[in-house]
Structure 1
Amino acid sequence: MAIRDILPENFGYVILSICYSHVLLFYLSLKVFASRKKYNVKYPQMYSEKEVVFNCIQRAHQNTLEVFPAWVILQLISGFAYPLTASVLGAIWVTSRFSYAWGYYTGDPAKRVYGAYGYIGYFGAFFLCIATALQLLGVL
């Protein structure tokens, strides 16, 4: 039995959106690593008492890691029933996290709202999960 026989048509796009998210995580990690060196923030210290910009870079990464597991679950479940829609929503969410980080990297935490459009992707996947559940339950 081939994997194409198990997963829905176009599910490859869902997988690619998750791969895109790992590019994001790698990028955010590199930014924190470089910032630790630049601002002389040693491990295991999470934040700096002097460097606001470092703290913003660290928070952009940390916040993304905080929501990432839930997003992956939403992406996978919604992708089983709605692979193309889930993929588009996933691309929106991941791209918004870049915008969120770049806004945060300015040192002005208020500019993290540049990534607020990511809620379209996140809540879109959430509602697709509900629709998928209702389909499985025979309600839709």
Structure 2
Amino acid sequence: MVVENFLPANFGYAIFVYLYSFVMLMYLGIKVGAARKKFGVKYPTMYSDKDQIFNCIQRSHQNTLEVYPQWLVFQTIAALEYPVAASVLGAIWVTSRFSYAWGYSTGDPAKRMHGAYGYIGLFGVIIISITVALNLLGVL
């Protein structure tokens, strides 16, 4: 197959992490939709001036979407050279977004820090991406 000529053998793990991240994004989006219905927040209103819990649920989804494109880039760069390590780090990051959202959706914004372990995954793939770049430039 053509794909096998371009991707490392273990890149399939990274693909499963991308699929896991899709499930996570869909879950967070569904939670926002359910909260809109529960708290009566109509589209296109982004935040409620009446209910802090809705705002926390919506914000956990929005924050994830804010960092998601950058994570995808670094995840892909890292996985092209180190697919297993990148996949483990990616799974940590994706899982942390569930923890972040569950903590945040309590209505206590401080509980969003339950997902702080996700920085291990995010910074991990950033560091690996820097390593890949330096290798390509012949610095390492």
Q: 1:127 and 1:19 mapped to 2: Cα distance?
A: 23
* Identical pairs, percent: 64
Offset of residue 127 of structure 1: 0.2
TM (norm. structure 1) is 0.98
Match of 1:90 in 2: 90
Which consecutive residues of structure 1, in runs of 5 or more, have no partner in the other structure?
A: none
Q: 1:18 and 1:36 mapped to 2: Cα distance?
A: 27
RMSD of aligned Cα (Å): 0.7
Aligned length in residues: 140
Match of 2:44 in 1: 44
Match of 1:132 in 2: 132
Offset of residue 132 of structure 1: 0.4
Mapping 1:1-140, distance limit 5 Å: 1-140=1-140
Q: 1:129 and 1:15 mapped to 2: Cα distance?
A: 17
- Superposition misfits of 4+ residues, deviation over 4 angstroms: none
Offset of residue 2 of structure 1: 2.4
Q: 1:6 and 1:59 mapped to 2: Cα distance?
A: 38
Q: 1:16 and 1:72 mapped to 2: Cα distance?
A: 13
Which consecutive residues of structure 2, in runs of 5 or more, have no partner in the other structure?
A: none
TM (norm. structure 2) is 0.98
User: What letter matches 1:18 in structure 2?
Assistant: Y
